[in-house]
Amino acid sequence: MATAVFSCSFKLKKGTNIPDFLAAAKTLNDEHISKQKGYISWQQYVDKETWADFCTFETMEDLQNFVANSEKPNEYAQAFYAFINMPSCRMNLYETVAVHGTP
């Protein structure tokens, strides 16, 4: 299956309450992202102060539609973004070419 992945690395604003941030992410996922066509999963990682999100969709078209429809953040996205140091964000779209092991 050729999937597509949206990746974003970022730092949180100083003083962010991590449980509150993760709760906002879960709400955004449950109420919005997971309902988008082609959605597969959203994984979050952290390395000290740098966070990384990987949101996987069934096709690049599904992913591109999600990105285009996200240009005007809804209330769930706004609550999530409130925790993020937005200038630190680095985003990429990738198409899966190989999977080794269990995805």
Q: pLDDT tens for residues 68-96?
A: 998 899 999 999 999 999 999 999 999 99
For the chain, list the domains and their CATH numbers. Answer: 4-95 (3.30.70.100)
Bridge-based pairing state of the strands 39-47 and 84-95:
unpaired
Q: Over 70: is that where the pLDDT of 1 sits?
A: no
Q: pLDDT tens for residues 3-56?
A: 999 999 999 999 999 999 999 999 999 999 999 999 999 999 999 999 999 999
Q: Which of 84, 69, 78 is nearest to 38 (CA)?
A: 69
**Banded pLDDT at 99 (limits 50, 70, 90):** confident
Residues forming beta bridges with residue 9, ordered by sequence position? 52, 90
Q: Over 70: is that where the pLDDT of 103 sits?
A: no
Tokens 């069934």 belong to 58
